[in-house]
Amino acid sequence: MTGSTSGLAIDSARLSLILNELRLPAMRQFWPDFAQRADKEGWPAARLLAALAEHELAERDRRRIERHMAEARLPPGKTIDGFDFDAVPMISKAQVMALCAGEPWLTSSANLIMFGPPGGGKSHLAAAIGLALVERGWRVLFVRTSDLVQKLQIARRELALEAAINRLDRYHLLILDDLAYVAKDQAETSVLFELISARYERRSVLITANQPFAEWNKVFPDPAMTLAAVDRLVHHATILEMNVESYRRRAALERKRKAGRPPARMTAHELEIHASDNQPAT
């Protein structure tokens, strides 16, 4: 009996070493529990192996999503469930949910562009779509446009711009938030244009912007560069226009109303919103 127990311990230790060498950490950790259950319930060998392999795959998926979530740099707390579609009635929830699947627009390297005034919910919706895509296995990077432009400028000075842009290829979707806040000098806008050109028909871009295309000459001072950038972005693109009153201002007013402390002073437009919100349903 002692020899049998000793042999089992040796086999167990050997199996753990082999699974570690094969880089199967989940199987190495959980095989004793699965084996005990298999012995108890009389599983055939194929069922035990399949259960262990499925668990290893599930753990790999979980770890990969955790890594991708960390590298995505998404602002916390921005989810589809937390987005108020009633406040942005021109946006179709069904369309947004379709975009969250990633197919077919990411596989075809199409773009997504969101226009609207500050506070209209663009960044929230962009981040929420990014989160949903990461959860489905896509690689995403969320970055403020001005921050990325500064990094690309540094790379250009170090003669490494091409390599820096190529490193961004690992992301299926690059979310450029607040395009309007890029400085308007030629050096900054030229690296932004090179990024847009490099990703054209190769990888997808999601852009949030306060100005419509007609005003992008404020971002790209060269008219020819403006036309070329817009042409590349819209060639394969979904455009969402979110022309609503500030999402944040409406939320703040709603919180005050619910707390029973209406604001002491309201602008004429806010009074109009307040009146319309309290109209009886027809």
pLDDT-derived band at 264 (thresholds 50, 70, 90) equals very low
| Least trusted range by pLDDT, from 83-97, 119-133, 179-193 | 179-193
pLDDT at 164: 97
Cα–Cα distance between 259 and 271 in angstroms, integer?
Answer: 18
Tokens read off for 208: 């949030």
pLDDT for the residue 272? 47
pLDDT at 279: 47
Categorize the per-residue pLDDT at 26 as very low, low, confident or very high, splitting at 50, 70 and 90: confident
What does pLDDT average to over the chain?
Answer: 84
Nearest to 15 by CA among 31, 1, 26, 34: 31
Give every CB contact of residue 66 below 8 A, 6+ residues apart in sequence: none
Q: Tell me how far apart the terminal alpha carbons of the chain are, to the nearest angstrom.
A: 83
Q: Per-residue confidence at 269, pLDDT binned at 50, 70, 90?
A: very low
Say whether pLDDT at 58 is over 70.
Answer: yes
Tell whether the model's pLDDT for residue 221 goes beyond 60: yes
Residue with the bigger pLDDT between 279 and 248: it is 248
pLDDT band for position 217 (cuts 50, 70, 90): confident
Please give the pLDDT value at position 199: 96
CA separation for the pair 61, 92 (Å, rounded): 30
SS3 labels along the chain: CHHHHHHHHHHHHHHHHHHHHCCCHHHHHHHHHHHHHHHHHCCCHHHHHHHHHHHHHHHHHHHHHHHHHHHHCCCCCCCCCCCCHHHCCCCCHHHHHHHHHCCCCCCCCCEEEEECCCCCCHHHHHHHHHHHHHHCCCCEEEEEHHHHHHHHHHHHHCCCHHHHHHHHHHCCEEEEECHHHCCCCHHHHHHHHHHHHHHCCCCEEEEEECCCHHHHHHCCCCHHHHHHHHHHHHCCEEEEECCCCCHHHHHHHHHHHHCCCCCCCCCHHHHHHHHHHCCCCC
- Contact by Cβ (8 Å): 194, 127: no
The pLDDT of residue 247 is above 60: no
Average pLDDT for 225-245: 88
Distance of alpha carbon 281 from alpha carbon 150, whole angstroms:
50
Average pLDDT over residues 93-122: 94
Which range among 11-25, 72-86, 101-115, 165-179 shows the weakest confidence by mean pLDDT? 11-25
- Over residues 64-82, the mean pLDDT reads 95
**What number is the average pLDDT over the span 81-107?**
94
279 vs 256 pLDDT, higher one: 256
Q: Quick one: tokens of 40?
A: 């108890």
Is a pLDDT exceeding 50 seen at residue 24?
yes
Q: Check pLDDT > 70 for residue 281.
A: no
**Whether the predicted pLDDT of 112 surpasses 90:** yes
Q: What is the pTM of this model?
A: 0.74
Q: What is the pLDDT of residue 226?
A: 83
d(C-alpha 34, C-alpha 84), whole Å: 45
Phi then psi dihedrals of residue 176, to 5 deg: -100, 105
